[in-house]
Amino acid sequence: MKLFFLCAIFIVCMPSVQAQEFAFQPSLRDQLLYASLDTPIDSLSQPPKRKLIPTNASFMERYLWDEDGLFRKIGFASPLTPEVRRSELSLRRNMLTAHLIGGFVTLGSMITTCYYGQKMIDDGGKLRSNRSNHQLFVTITIASYSATGLLAVLSPPPMIRRDEISTTTIHKTLAWVHFLGMVVTPIIGASIHRHATTSQIAHFHQASAYITTAALAASLIVITF
């Protein structure tokens, strides 16, 4: 009787066990294939967006030329696209060429300023012509230097900027030196009394002017040759 009861239970349970054992189990390949067909189109992975502005662009470059930069907000630059980027790279080349030419013009003006400043020290500031010529070329130098610097600061960023030491890196480092000199030298010069060209302050002004001129000349030589 017990044997008959066990056999009856086995017969009743057998179909469900077979159904579970032999139920269709799709392979991993089929799961991936058919699951992708049910995936909404919007959720499919999109190709990565091309970076048109280098990630290591300077703060000023990003502020002016980024996708939502100031120049694009005010309409000075077109919305950022690969075609617009190509035209901006051409603009960058032209602006940096003008920056280089302006640098040599500024250097010539700065040397002339130093020449008349040295003559003022040599004659004790007695000749009015030396003073007037010195003041004239100081004005020309400051104006030329400012315009030349703005050409570099406002130029569009490159497509790629490598984090490595190069002649451009040295040029930019020297730029900080002569920029500091262009700020300090006129301030010291303004503190010199009209006829105190032989004072200690005048010699500090002279030394600062020569250091600034040397730094500007070195920065131009490095980037040109």
Q: How many residues does the chain have?
A: 225
pLDDT tens column, 81-102? 999 999 999 999 999 999 999 9
pLDDT band at 51 (very low <50, low <70, confident <90, very high): confident
pLDDT at position 124 is 82
In the chain, what are the helix, strand and coil shares in percent, each to the nearest 5? 70, 0, 30
pTM above 0.85, yes or no: no
Looking at residue 126, what is its pLDDT? 81
Contact 110, 216 (CB under 8 A): yes
Predicted confidence band at 40 (pLDDT cuts at 50, 70, 90)? Answer: low
For residues 38-62, give the mean pLDDT. Answer: 71
Q: Which amino acid, residue 30? A: D
Each residue's pLDDT tens digit, 185-209: 999 999 887 667 778 899 999 999 9
Report, as an integer, the average pLDDT of 160-188.
95
pLDDT at 29 exceeding the cut of 60: no
Burial (CB count within 10 angstroms: exposed 0-12, middle 13-18, buried 19+), residue 110: buried
The pLDDT of residue 47: 52
Q: What is the mean pLDDT of the chain?
A: 84
Q: Which residue, 82, 53, 89, 80, is CA-closest to 161?
A: 53
Alpha-carbon span 154 to 64, nearest angstrom: 8
Q: What is the pLDDT of residue 45?
A: 52
Q: Please give the residue that has the higher pLDDT: either 130 or 193.
A: 130
- pLDDT of 4 > 80? The answer is no
Structure tokens at 33: 């294939």
Q: Is the pLDDT of residue 30 over 90?
A: no
User: Is the pLDDT assigned to residue 9 strictly greater than 80?
Assistant: no
Structure-token pair, residue 137: 């070329």
Measured distance CA(6)–CA(172) in Å, rounded: 93
Indicate the range of 115-119, 123-127, 208-212 predicted with least confidence. Answer: 123-127
Q: What letter would DSSP give residue 43? A: G
pLDDT reading at 72 higher than 60: yes
Residues of the chain above pLDDT 70, percent: 76
**176 pLDDT more than 90:** yes
* Spatial CA neighbour of 205 closest among 192, 214, 221, 219: 192
